[in-house]
Amino acid sequence: MKLRTTLTIVITCISFIFFLLLQTSCTKTITKTVIDTLKTAWQPVAGFTSYGSSPLSSASIGDSVLVVASNYNYITLVVNKNGFTNFFGNNLIGTSLNAPAYICPYVNNDLCAYTTSTSLNVMSVPIYSQYSSFSYTPVYTPGLTSVFQQTCSYPEDTYPSSGYPVIRNKYILTPVEEDANMRVRFDLLSFDSSQILSYWGFGGVPTVKSIYLTPAVGTIGFSWNGYFCASFFGKFFVEYGSQFFRIDTLGNVKQFGYTPAKYSKNYGIYNMFTYGNTLFVNSGGVFFSSDDQGETWKVFNDFTNTNVGLLIFRNVGSKLYATAIDLDAQLFKVAFTGNNLNFSELNNDGLQYYRITSITQCGRYDFITTSSGVFYRDTAYFDQLKSPVR
């Protein structure tokens, strides 16, 4: 009887210990799952929602400050290893909710450039004083048609997304007017950025050089097809009226016609990017490439029988990604094999049904701006494949 009692006690103790171990094991498993979800899913940056505007573009100042611009303000926040602090908002000079910037603002680690209804504006990031900017209002020729304000695609549908990139913090380009002979005047502005990027500086008056674009020989001229301008390798690449041009900072113009290289299909220029040392144009799935920084072009491949035409290709540091042109915020990492493309779909938990407008890496995080806010994720998990999710 005594032996049976002893065995009962031992068995009870063993059962209790096993129960405790099971409970501890379950608790650890649940905790680990929660931590993994926080690390791997895209999380909203709550502070941006209070500014009431759709984030359109972004840039990083070193590894510690993120800049996000809308069409009437830009916001900066300090990024560190523990998160984000110190939100600062600055209105874009000359804009308001009722009179926003016409085109998605260009932002880099020093400057923000945009247009209002009457002027082209460049201001410092962050702004040092009320003089840390300048505005340029073109002088028009009587009787000519103003083309100062051009329609650009939404940042979801184009990359680079701004129509007013700044080269070396010194040069910026803007269309101005068109005459009856199908000549389009562009003004190339050069300015002293040191006057903008200092507390005691004054924006000053930029130096202006007027240059003229004409249709390429063998084409029937300009047609309305929006406006696109990007800068790569210290040069401007412009589509105006379905014609493609390269313009350098001395004002020299090179015409290419309707496409960078002659081809039977033309879907417009709205997406340019680099892969290694090669510059690419994605025109509705037709890829053109240049190995000499945009001086000469060739047809790289025609992907129009695939879904490539529904993607926007974006440079993020040394890597290349693609996003879908629709409401589903799909993400793909892109690699080239010869003249073909390889896609790896990435985990987009938390981003579904948002329109991606920009992707920027800052510190230990990657940030994605969308039509409905800003989202972040640890850079170590950015390239995590969608399947398996974890």
pLDDT in tens, 300-357: 999 999 999 999 999 998 999 999 987 678 899 999 999 999 999 999 988 877 889 9
**Closest residue by Cα to residue 48 from 103, 89, 90, 105:** 89
Is position 253 within any domain?
A: yes
Q: How many domains does the chain have?
A: 1
Is position 196 within any domain?
A: yes
The pLDDT score that the predictor gives to residue 11 is: 39
The pLDDT score that the predictor gives to residue 143 is: 92
Mark the ranges of the chain whose per-residue pLDDT is less than 50: 1-35, 389-390
Is position 201 within any domain?
A: yes
Is position 198 within any domain?
A: yes
Is position 169 within any domain?
A: yes
For 320-327, which contacts have Cβ atoms below 8 Å and span 24 or more sequence positions?
320/273, 320/275, 321/346, 321/359, 323/156, 323/356, 323/359, 325/156, 325/157, 327/353, 327/354, 327/355
Is position 284 within any domain?
A: no
Residues constituting the chain:
390
**Closest residue by Cα to residue 209 from 193, 190, 195, 228:** 190
The pLDDT score that the predictor gives to residue 33 is: 40
Q: What's at 256, amino acid-wise?
A: F
Q: Do residues 229 and 213 touch, judged by C-beta distance below 8 A?
A: no
Is position 319 within any domain?
A: no
Is position 304 within any domain?
A: no
What's the Cα-to-Cα distance from 15 to each of 145, 270, 341, rounded to whole Å?
Answer: 89, 68, 58
Give residues with Cβ within 8 angstroms of 95, minimum separation 6.
71, 72, 73, 101, 114, 116
The domain containing residue 172 runs over which residues?
Answer: 92-258
pLDDT in tens, 229-273: 999 999 999 999 999 999 999 999 999 999 999 999 999 999 999
| pTM confidence score | 0.86
